[in-house]
Structure 1
């Protein structure tokens, strides 16, 4: 089975359609699938729903797709670094489904495990729980959250072998593995592809069985908030 493709656009060929739901990995600007995001922008696919921890920043990451008006809805937990996101939301141009950060990660994980929904105490008594089913367990109230089942997953790893077994570095491990697992098809971009057997099996964060297509590329690795001290 061919998994390695020559470019992001080749890897996405035949997978994109208007109105689809995409789960995107990354945390802030760490570990975001920037090459695949740029390829989606170039493809012009529209009315997209994205499940992602955040929406990038202005001019980078998912911010590119907000600027090109290709995103209809965001399912996110943090959106504070993107002025265009704020403008579109406040003007009614963009739908927003806020999720507590742990709930969003668990919704992705649940979808990847084939779990339709789960109960959590997080959000009970807040607007997050409005309109959702509530249930008591041992005297505590829980709210029902649904698993996320995406049409496509786009994720970014540090290394992968040719079969798709992947390793993520540090913060990039937060959302990439659950995002990868909840899509019908997963496309993975990496900094380096190695031969099978090169990676320590105990170090694998995402088994290759979840990865359908794989690309290698150069990444910008932009810093979201740069803080320095005086020389």
Structure 2
């Protein structure tokens, strides 16, 4: 009797296993949160059949342009405007350019004044080249009555660099040269009659070791070459006709 009671009180322990599947408890039903629907009034654009203009983002504003002190054009020179040292250097350069321009203008004016003073009232080529015998005689008389220094300077500017042989037509035109020669032979007018003008020519060409005899020889040679060119040109023109 006692043995049976002990057997009844002894209970076998069974291990409990938890399921990985969650089973909802009875009596609790999950419900979703209710959605709130807001009513919107119809727009006037849809009612009228027109759409509102689409707004596009405006482009970024262009940076302010500053006038360049060098080329005087508008450039994006914000960094130049902030750089005071660079501005000072540019101002110095511009000031120096203005000084140079002013000095050039003063120099040109001075040379012009000196040149006009040297050539007198006749100018560089207002008298020469002589075109006829009347002008030749008148010039010789003017030199006698006035100062020969001005005429010597004018003649020197015309023939001193290349010599009398190459520059004779700067003093006498070809049409006048065919009417004269140095000695006045063959019914030509003699240049020796214009002694003062001949002396001016010699003074303009004078250099060390250059004698008056050599000058006369060069003058005759120059007149001869011009006459030869004149007659040759006329001969070619006649042959073409």
- TM bin, normalised by shorter chain, reads under 0.3
Q: Which has the higher helix share?
A: 2
TM-score, structure 2 as length reference: 0.22
Structure of greater relative contact order (alpha carbons < 8 Å, 6+ residues apart): 1
Q: Which has the higher strand share?
A: 1
TM-score, structure 1 as length reference: 0.22
Say which one has the larger Rg. 2
